[in-house]
């Protein structure tokens, strides 16, 4: 996932039955830089109980992926190359699912083979479905031959400007294709990902696909105890299942884990509102969680949620607050939709002109380098704009050149992409596979 599988959340999921966990997606380009010690410390956190652990990297250069893998080799059990991320930042940075085109196949296989040579632990690859099941089978064959020890398949298609419906980025997962692929590789580990919200979904997935395991992202964010029924000890399973039936317990347990393993407040709010979306919404507390400044403030809101659940008479619906929240939400949606509306206009223009849909979105999409940003600092505003618009016009110049960043934040119509492809949660708080 992107930004959402940090150490405290992994520990919570492991307690409730998850048998293996991945780190958030980490930029190998940034992780391997000698000067990025703080980034490494922030992005790769673990402890003795956090095993087996897979270090999950984005990459588009073999040497960077191999170097990043070497840095964590002694502290994890496998390395994973992300070829599944569908987000816009992956498109701009040319990684994730945007490396699945045929033109990048040699590069991808080189990344895998060089990483395999560099480390003594297994190398995994996370992919999405290609346009046909035959093409996906060919890809898995090539990854296996390049040295990959396991392939996890997100059973939706790679990102596309044209695709909608089943198998699209947000459509139903096409697990029937994973079944066909697994039948071609009976002795090679295949993990199935998609359509897993409950433990019954896990069982149905395995029964249908014949895969060697299942992976969950969206489902486990909503319920960190998703895999509790997989715990073998009946007494332990029964005890934990009863405790986790109240998601307030899970949220409080997550907050307790933060005492020893801190996370950013944005991450804390993200997990809390995913676990408790229904009651927080019902009791008009979700915005309070999002705007909370401390973990203790979030804890008090979670406890208030429990209080209202236990005695509904204590909750009084605030019509004025509801109106303000509705107005703020509508404004937020409009502001944050600027980029989407711009992209839609550019796609329509390209379509009218018979060009590829991403034609205009590729103009100025090049991410500036640290060297470019540094050199621009000494120039006048006019010269900065001229150079910026020539190569980086899709990106927000203020975001990169101003010490305080862009004041428009998530409402800015330009791209806010960190150099080195940071793995922080993106604007829409999406998770990536």
| Nearest-angstrom CA–CA distance, 230 and 226 | 9
- Sign, Cα dihedral of 390, 391, 397, 402: negative
CB atoms within 10 A of CB 402: 11
Active-site residue list: 85
| Nearest-angstrom CA–CA distance, 91 and 99 | 9
| Nearest-angstrom CA–CA distance, 121 and 76 | 8
- What are the E-state strand segments in 186-309? 190-193, 213-215
- Helix 62-72 vs helix 105-118: crossing angle, to nearest 10: 30
Torsion of CA 120, 11, 6, 82, to 10 degrees: 40
Residue whose C-alpha is closest to residue 285's, from 260, 307, 258:
307
Pairing of strands 150-157, 78-83: unpaired
Q: Which residue has the tokens 């309070």?
A: 288
């Amino acid at each position: 996932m992107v930004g959402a599988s940090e150490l405290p959340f992994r520990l919570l999921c492991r307690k409730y039955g998850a048998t293996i966990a991945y780190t958030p997606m980490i930029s190998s380009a940034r992780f391997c830089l000698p000067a990025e010690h703080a980034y490494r410390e922030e992005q790769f956190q673990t402890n003795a109980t956090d095993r087996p652990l897979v270090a999950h990297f984005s990459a588009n250069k073999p040497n960077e992926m191999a170097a990043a893998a070497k840095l964590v080799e002694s502290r994890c059990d496998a390395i994973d190359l992300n070829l599944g991320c569908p987000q816009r930042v992956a498109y701009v940075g040319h990684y994730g699912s945007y490396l699945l085109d045929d033109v990048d196949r040699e590069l991808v296989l080189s990344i895998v083979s060089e990483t395999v040579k560099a480390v003594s632990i297994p190398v995994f690859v996370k992919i999405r479905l290609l346009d046909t099941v035959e093409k996906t089978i060919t890809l898995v064959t090539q990854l296996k031959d390049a040295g990959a020890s396991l392939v996890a398949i997100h059973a939706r298609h790679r990102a596309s400007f044209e695709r909608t419906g089943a198998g699209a980025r947000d459509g139903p997962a096409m697990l029937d294709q994973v079944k066909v692929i697994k039948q071609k590789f009976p002795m090679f580990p295949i993990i199935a990902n998609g359509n897993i919200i409950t433990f019954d979904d896990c069982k149905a997935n395995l029964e249908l696909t014949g895969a060697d395991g299942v992976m969950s992202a969206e489902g486990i964010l909503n319920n960190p105890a998703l895999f509790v029924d997989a715990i073998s000890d009946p007494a332990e399973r029964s005890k934990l299942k009863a405790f986790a039936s109240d998601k307030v317990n899970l949220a409080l347990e997550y907050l307790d884990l933060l005492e020893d393993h801190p996370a950013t407040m944005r991450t804390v709010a993200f997990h809390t509102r995913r676990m408790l979306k229904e009651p927080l919404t019902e009791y008009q507390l979700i915005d309070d969680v999002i705007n909370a400044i401390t973990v203790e403030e979030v804890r008090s809101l979670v406890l208030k949620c429990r209080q209202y659940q236990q005695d509904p008479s204590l909750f009084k619906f605030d019509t004025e607050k509801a109106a303000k929240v509705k107005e703020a939400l509508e404004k937020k949606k409009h502001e944050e939709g600027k980029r989407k509306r711009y992209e839609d206009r550019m796609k329509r223009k390209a379509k009218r002109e018979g060009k590829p849909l991403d034609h205009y979105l590729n103009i100025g999409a090049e991410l500036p380098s640290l060297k470019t940003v540094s050199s621009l600092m000494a120039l006048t505003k006019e010269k900065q704009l001229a150079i910026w618009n020539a190569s980086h016009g899709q990106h927000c110049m203020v975001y990169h050149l101003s010490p305080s960043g862009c004041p428009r934040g998530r409402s800015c119509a330009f791209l806010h992409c960190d150099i080195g492809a940071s793995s922080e949660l993106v604007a829409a708080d999406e998770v990536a596979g």
